[in-house]
Amino acid sequence: MAPTHARPIVALAGGVGAARFLRGLVEAVPAEQVAAVVNTGDDAEFYGVHVSPDLDIVTYTLADRVNRERGYGIEGDSFGVVDALGALGHETWFRLGDRDFATCLHRTGRLRAGAGLAAVTDEIRRAFGVAVRIVPMSEDPCPTYVEFEGGRRVHFEEYLARDGAPGDVRGVDLAAARAARPAPGVTELLRAAETILVCPSNPVVSIGPILALPGLREAIAASGAPVVGVSPIVGGAPVKGPADRLLRGVGIEVSARGVAGLYRDWLHGFVIDARDSEQAAEVGALGLRAVVTDTIMRDRGAAAALARTALELAAQLR
């Protein structure tokens, strides 16, 4: 057990990549010492309920309840509610499972009763038996919009789940996050952090919204903690998901070096994949300490090894 006075290890997190990394991190350090500050730029209302995709992916994964194949949703869930809504004429491209629906229904009811998203998220993670603190980045609505030629724009979930993540992205609008307040506890956690980790998450639509919040960068700097990230780009491509299309859409090279350049103002150390070892010197030239290892989290053991590498790099940078 960690002494209760241990300063927190704070991880900036998106969805699937982050959740897998966090599951490894809790093999390396006591779960009670870990706090995840999670993107809410993907949050939206579907079927009358408040859906928080990344918060729930992280919660379900750490609870060992996630659908492993998909990386989101609850293992063994059924889809009776969305299918019944479909029969009533609703659009059902957002496939929310029945048990997942219950989480969102609970969240919606608590928010309507006046509870904050941070408190409700904490209730949900405790109900799922998760010891890691899970904190939404903000309680204000922070929808991320993906932009296309001609000024057309869609909510990130429409882009991903409805439209299948097309490649002709021209930009990403994080204006809502830029005008939002960090959730209660977020800047305090960062300022108190012993180590700040940046999960292998989508740099544009998962880490981008968190860093866009007013005061976030200042809180990171004020912590004096080493800030270490893991590259979500391996061998010039994302391991999964549309990070390549979004990076290109905002004019960033799809590579470990491209992501390092995006993070360079506030990141100190970067873990990159062995397949990208030739980029280590360039990452170093950006002023970051680079470490090369296998970053593919094929199972919990691999995720734990990756987390240990990130923690060792942080210890060297302290």
Which positions lie near ligand GDP, rule CB under 6 A? 14-18, 20, 54, 199-202, 206, 230-232, 234, 238-241, 243, 295-297
For residue 72, give the 3-state DSSP assignment: coil
Q: Which is nearer to ligand GDP, 56 or 110 (CB)?
A: 56
Distance, in Å, from the CA atom of 127 to the CA atom of 108, rounded to the nearest integer, reads 16
| Contact predicate 318/296, CB 8 Å | no
Q: Please, what is the minimum distance in Å from the beta carbon of residue 211 to ligand GDP?
A: 13
Q: Which is nearer to ligand GDP, 49 or 230 (CB)?
A: 230
Q: Please, what is the minimum distance in Å from the beta carbon of residue 53 to ligand GDP?
A: 7
Q: Which is nearer to ligand GDP, 195 or 309 (CB)?
A: 309
| Secondary structure (DSSP) of 241-290 | SSHHHHHHHTT--SSHHHHHHHHTTT--EEEEEGGGGGGHHHHHHTT-EE
Q: Which is nearer to ligand GDP, 16 or 174 (CB)?
A: 16
Q: Which is nearer to ligand GDP, 110 or 157 (CB)?
A: 157
Query: How far from 267 is each of 45, 155, 229, 270, CA to CA, in Å?
Result: 33, 28, 7, 8
Q: Please, what is the minimum distance in Å from the beta carbon of residue 190 to ligand GDP?
A: 19
Q: Please, what is the minimum distance in Å from the beta carbon of residue 265 to ligand GDP?
A: 20
Q: Which is nearer to ligand GDP, 22 or 110 (CB)?
A: 22
Residues 6 or more apart whose CB falls under 8 angstroms from that of 242 comprise: 159, 160, 165, 202
Q: Which of 264, 256, 310, 255 is nearest to 287 (CA)?
A: 264
Query: How far from 200 is each of 1, 9, 206, CA to CA, in Å?
Result: 27, 16, 10
Structure tokens at 16: 């699937």
Q: Please, what is the minimum distance in Å from the beta carbon of residue 35 to ligand GDP?
A: 16
The helix (H) or strand (E) run that includes residue 117 is helix 117-127
Q: Which of 123, 87, 95, 85 is nearest to 107 (CA)?
A: 123
Q: Please, what is the minimum distance in Å from the beta carbon of residue 232 to ligand GDP?
A: 3
The helix (H) or strand (E) run that includes residue 104 is helix 98-112
Q: Which is nearer to ligand GDP, 18 or 283 (CB)?
A: 18
Torsion angle of C-alpha atoms 300, 306, 310, 313, degrees rounded to 10: 140
Q: Please, what is the minimum distance in Å from the beta carbon of residue 88 to ligand GDP?
A: 29
Q: Which is nearer to ligand GDP, 22 or 227 (CB)?
A: 22
Structure tokens at 132: 């890691």
Residues in the chain: 318
Q: Please, what is the minimum distance in Å from the beta carbon of residue 231 to ligand GDP?
A: 6
